[in-house]
Structure 1
Amino acid sequence: MSETTWPWGAGTATGIGSLPGTDVAEAQRIVLGELPDLPHLPELPDRGPGADLIGRTGGLLVELPVELYAARWRIAPRPGKDLRRARDLMERDLDQLAEQAEEYAGPVKVQAAGPFTLAASLELPIGGRLLRDPGAVRDLAGSLGEGLRGHVAAVDRRLPHATVLLQLDEPSLPAVLAGRVPTESGFGTHRAVESEVARALLHGVIEAAGVPTVVHCCAADVPLELIRTAGAVGVALDLALVTDLDPLGEAIDAGLGLLAGAAPALPPPAGRAPTSAQVADRVRRVWDQLGFSRRRLAEQVVVTPACGLAGADPAYVRAVLAACRDAGRRLAEE
């Protein structure tokens, strides 16, 4: 493990993706200011359709146009105004990133929905979730991989000195694997996707994107071994939801990086963000329970909030990102 080269530096922190508000220039300033070692492209879902996770990723798909219908995203017969809006928002975001970080030299993270969260959310033109059609799921994964390759290239052009780290958001993956995604009627569930099928499709998307990829899953039953063997370099999860440490320890020992969600995404009842010492202690406590060396901690772990911050207020966002950044530095100094 000592010879592993991670796509981030020791003692690094980053955000999960979403921030509150509608001002992308200000959001990007916050990210670059508070997370200088691993900034990310902010997502601002408050801007409405096309800025949400599914619409934003739908805009990246190749030859699979999407549209809004009854407030839900579905596959469309042809490109339309909803797709144009999603793509325009992404272009604006990338242009703002370039304007503020053109000379940045280091890793930068971009986020998109993973294939199974997309399949569990997008609808077929005839109705019903795309997940019900295995052939459509394969086509979706292929389209997503191609689209992500183009997205990474667009970031590379704008930030010629940076290296791209991709994050695939897969909150629905455990439900897809367990057959817990409800059907349209709500009276049944879609058939579970077999692990080997899921692994192969996820691997295909990661391989097509062509850059180091982490998978983010804010669920209690993250399929760590599947994510690792699909080719991800890391997993992003909420430490508060980890109830069984053994699978996490096995995945880390096998070389999986950890984006450790160690600070609450929403202000606690007292309203104050945790201190950097508290965040560092949260990460350190779990790491010590796993039995790994402290030196390895700073190299293999990135400190993050527990999830996206779209529901928080701007003051809390700044405070929690600063706490994560300084916690990472504390861990690197030990």
Structure 2
Amino acid sequence: MTDRVPLVGGTATGVGSMPGTDPLAAARLAFDEVALPFVPELPARGPGADMVGRAAALLVDIAMDTTRDGYRLASGRTRLMSRADGFLRSDLDAVEEVVERGGLRSPVKLAAIGPFTLSALVELPGGHKVLHDAGAWRDVVASLAEGLAQRADELERRLGVPIVVQLDEPMVGAVIDGQIAPLTRLDVNRPIPAPDVAAALADLATRVGRPVVLHSCAAPRWDLLSALTGYALSLDLGQITDGDYDELGAHLDRGGRLIAGVVPTAEPATAVSADELADRLVALLGRIGLPPAVVREQVLVSPTCGLAGAGPWAPRALGLASKVADQLARLD
């Protein structure tokens, strides 16, 4: 696993999803408002553009199709795959156009659904979830790793800057606990132990060959995260409790990066300022006992989760994240 492009603290970024259906408009926001820009995801365009369907454009030698209620693995190329590929190429084209106009020196973040959340949501042809079959979910891990490596290579060639890959794994805790609903009560989806998940994610990061971020808006699972020593973590800090302090502190003590989700994804009823959000973040990290230098150099700032439903709040949320990050950069 490589760490050749470390994420720089005191920087803002977005999680990935954005409102609307216009790739160029979304790319302009993603590149103008934050110092670590990202390739926007626009799920409002429909199947193939959402977090799960987008994987149809990333998997290598594994086909996907739609069902009445979601997605399923398939045989042979499907209309969904062509649709998802078209959406992703439009997104990359938009990002390239924005970069050509404005120039760019910073890395760019490319997000995708993680293999375990994907395996929890996509069906096998027989109706079971992919994670029901150990061979199937391992194939998905390898296929997604190959596809992400190829897309990151393409994006790097297009933009001329390093690429950071983000995996969105909101359901990984339920996968580890065996809480994914089965097809029948008598044929459950067995838990996948955290060490097995960690080993698979480590293999994926090795194939991707770039810095990798694990993002989740859910409560952190330290039985997994503490084993992913080569990953940066992107967490909703509203989910952090006193019981998380030791593990989060250990991650930062060993030099790990944290993308701290502190900006609301919907406009709050009461106005919130960058000063207030920065104070909350510094106070939380101070309770862990972190010196200002660690916060300044290793902590980035983002909204708590994706902004697909944020509407007009989305650019304001990204701008607010940048103002909070600027305050972290000046800590002494």
TM over 0.5: yes
* Residue deviations 1:103-160 (CA, integer Å, cap 9, x gap): 3111110100111001101110111100100010111111011111101011111101
The one-letter amino acid paired with 2:205 is I
SS in 2 for 1:120: helix
Deviation at 1:232, TM superposition (A): 3.6
Q: Distance in 1 between matches of 2:5 and 2:325?
A: 15
Over 3 Å counting, the alpha-carbon distance change for 1:132 and 1:281 in structure 2 is same
Q: Residue 191 of structure 1: CA displacement?
A: 1.0
Specify the alignment match of 1:310 in structure 2: 308
**Equivalent position SS for 1:128:** coil
Shift of 1:80: 1.3
Distance in 2, matches of 1:235 and 1:57, equals: 21
1:120 and 2:120 aligned: yes
Change (3 A) 1:180 1:267: same
Task: Tell me how many residue pairs correspond in the alignment.
Answer: 325
Q: 1:150 is paired with a residue of what secondary structure?
A: helix
- Cα distance in 1, alignment partners of residues 189 and 280 from structure 2: 37
Q: Find out whether 1:297 has 2:277 as its counterpart.
A: no
- Decide which of 275, 285, 294 is 1:277's aligned counterpart: 275
For residues 258 and 267 of structure 1, do their structure 2 counterparts lie closer, same or farther at Cα, with a shift above 3 Å needed? Answer: same
Residue of structure 2 equivalent to 1:332:
329
Compute the displacement of 1:50 (Å): 0.6
Q: Is the aligned partner of 1:95 residue 2:101? A: no
* Equivalent position of 2:73 in the other structure: 75
Shift of 1:65: 0.8
Structure 1 segments unaligned to the other structure (5+ residues): none
Counterpart AA for 1:289: R
Q: Tell me, in whole angstroms, the C-alpha distance in 1 between the residues paired with 2:258 and 2:81.
A: 34
Q: Matched residue of 1:215: which SS?
A: strand
Amino acid of the structure 1 residue aligned with 2:121: S
Corresponding residue for residue 224 of structure 1: 222
Match of 1:197 in 2: 196
Q: Which has the higher contact order (CA 8 A, sep 6+)?
A: 2
1:320 is matched with: 317
Contact 1:7 1:165 in 2 (8 A): no
Cα distance in 1 for residues equivalent to 2:186 and 2:21: 38
Q: State how far apart, in whole Å, the 2-side matches of 1:260 and 1:241 are.
A: 11
- Percent identity at matched positions? 37
Tell me the C-alpha RMSD between the 2 structures: 1.7
> What secondary structure does 2:192 align onto?
coil
The amino acid that maps onto 2:36 is: L
Question: Residue 154 of structure 1 corresponds to which residue in structure 2?
Answer: 154
| Shift in alpha-carbon separation, 1:246–1:230, aligned structure 2, 3 A | closer
The DSSP-based 3-state class of the residue aligned with 1:303 is strand
My pick for the range that moved more, 47-56 or 189-198, is 189-198
Compared CA separation, residues 5 and 63, structure 1 to 2 (3 A): closer
The answer to whether the 8 Å contact 1:178/1:193 transfers is yes
* Residues 27-56 of structure 1 deviation map (CA, whole Å, 9 limit, x = unaligned): 111111111x20000111001011100111
Tell me the CA shift for residue 186 of structure 1.
6.7
Cα offset, 1:71, TM superposition: 3.2
Counterpart AA for 1:33 = D
Counterpart secondary structure, 2:233: strand
Structure-1 residue corresponding to 2:284 = 286
Show the counterpart of 1:84: 82
* 1:62-94: CA deviation from partner (whole Å, max 9, x where unpaired): 000101011311111111111100001000100
Instruction: In structure 2, give the amino acid aligned to 1:73.
Output: Y
Partner deviation per Cα, 1:306-327 (whole Å, 9 max, x = no partner): 000111122x111111111011
Distance apart, 1:187 and its partner CA: 8.0
In structure 1, C-alpha distance between the alignment counterparts of 2:330 and 2:188, rounded to whole Å: 49
TM-score (normalizing by structure 2):
0.94
2:237 is matched with which residue?
239
Deviates more, 1:277-286 or 1:131-140: 277-286
Q: Once the 2 structures are TM-superposed, how far is the Cα of residue 231 of structure 1 from its aligned partner?
A: 4.7
- Alpha carbons of structure 1 residues 10 and 254: separation in structure 2 relative to 1, 3 Å: closer
Task: Find the aligned partners of 1:189 and 1:282 in 2 and give their Cα distance.
Answer: 42
**Residue 165 of structure 2 corresponds to residue 166 of structure 1:** yes
| Aligned partners of 1:108 and 1:164 also within 8 Å | yes
Q: 2:88 corresponds to which letter in structure 1?
A: M
Residue matched to 2:137: 137
1:54 corresponds, among 52, 55, 66, to: 52
Deviations 1:166-207 (A, max 9, x none): 110000111111111111247875211012211111111111
TM-score (ref. length: structure 1): 0.93
CA contact (8 A) 1:7 1:107 kept: no
Q: CA deviation at 1:7?
A: 2.1
Instruction: Please tell me whether the aligned partners of residues 252 and 294 of structure 2 are also in contact (alpha carbons under 8 angstroms).
Output: no
